[in-house]
A = this chain, B = another copy of it.
Amino acid sequence: MKLHILGCYAATPRTLTNPTSQVLEIKGHLFLIDCGEGTQVQLRKNKIKFSRINHIFISHLHGDHFFGLPGLISTFRLLGRDKEMHIYGPNGIKEAITLLLKLGNSWTNYLLIFHELSSKETELIYEDDKVSVETIPLNHRIYTNGFLFKEKLGERKLNIEIVEKYKVDTSSYQNIKSGKDIILDNGQVIANSELTFDPPKPKTYAFCSDTAYMPEIVPQIKGSDVLYHESTFLDSEEHLSAKTKHATAKEAAAIAKAAEVGTLILGHYSTRYKSIELFKEEAQTIFDNVELADDGKVFEF
């Protein structure tokens, strides 16, 4: 699992920072999460292949998470895309994109499939045999979801040495990988546990931006390997945090601690602060394993 941070700063333009967007590489997918203005240029800068993105998840319809989407959709057309594209986001996202395409008379030549969200309860919005995605309902000024990306338990891994010792035919490999025992020609039963290793532990990534402090999400994200949680403000601006329904570094850390996650990644920093290191310092007074997102940074876990 690999996380590319394309942008992780709160709104207001600066020459060197970008609004929220990230790409999660997971089980062969490239999931684009949020799409602030300039995301298409950030994709280029970070050398991410446009054609490998088939699913875009939008947390909410504030500009710094969403205003890069119309341009990206147009660019996919210019690049000759013909594969369908799935877009998951709040109710209204279809109307907005459709109106902009209509005004430009710039219809896509690929299928654009909108999955509009409006529930305040967790929903399973994507699933295949390797991965699932659920919404994490958040508490922001407008309807907002985080997203929980979960790998599924993979196949068991063949212990080739043992399998070859028993001269098992390759046609049985798939059965073994799916957990079955083997009966040899002489009637001897070889237990699956002897023939295989456990599959790697499936990983989980929780993306939570933007939201006020919301302990209600803890049970859902419990034990996640990685939690990206916004921390727009430091303690000194706690009053602004409450007013604008954002979180402080310490509040993000409190969520990470209660949810016993592996790593907390902070982001969505207000541009008022001179150094983002301050966010790490404050968060680490509560939770140890803190990383700072920054534009262009890549996390592997």
List chain A positions with a Cβ less than 8 A from chain B.
Answer: 11-15, 37-38, 40-41, 43-45, 61-64, 66-68, 70-71, 74-75, 78-79, 90, 92-93, 95-96, 99-100, 103-106, 141-142
Task: Select from chain B the residue with minimum beta-carbon distance to A79.
Answer: B12
Provide the residues of chain B in CB contact with A95, threshold 8 Å: 99, 103
- Most chain B CB inside 10 Å of its own CB: which residue of A37, A64, A105: A37
Count of chain copies: 2
Residue among B11, B14, B100, B142 making CB contact with A96, cutoff 8 Å:
B100
Asked whether, in the complex, the Cβ of B63 is within 8 Å of the Cβ of A104, the reply is yes
Asked whether, in the complex, the Cβ of A142 is within 8 Å of the Cβ of B105, the reply is yes
User: Bound complex: CA of A63 vs CA of B63, how far in Å?
Assistant: 16
Asked whether, in the complex, the Cβ of A15 is within 8 Å of the Cβ of B45, the reply is yes
Residue among B45, B70, B141 making CB contact with A67, cutoff 8 Å:
B70
Residue among B12, B15, B61, B103 making CB contact with A104, cutoff 8 Å:
B61
Asked whether, in the complex, the Cβ of A74 is within 8 Å of the Cβ of B105, the reply is no
User: Bound complex: CA of A70 vs CA of B69, how far in Å?
Assistant: 12
User: Bound complex: CA of A44 vs CA of B43, how far in Å?
Assistant: 21
Provide the residues of chain B in CB contact with A14, threshold 8 Å: 41, 44
Quick one: given A37-B37, A99-B99, are A62 and B104 in contact (CB under 8 Å)? Answer: yes
Report the 3 A-B pairs with minimum CB-CB distance, sorted nearest first.
A13-B40, A61-B103, A37-B71
Provide the residues of chain B in CB contact with A75, threshold 8 Å: 11-13
User: Bound complex: CA of A151 vs CA of B203, how far in Å?
Assistant: 65
Q: List 14 A-B contacts (CB under 8 A).
A: A11-B74, A12-B75, A12-B78, A15-B44, A37-B38, A37-B71, A38-B41, A62-B104, A62-B106, A63-B71, A63-B106, A67-B71, A95-B99, A105-B142
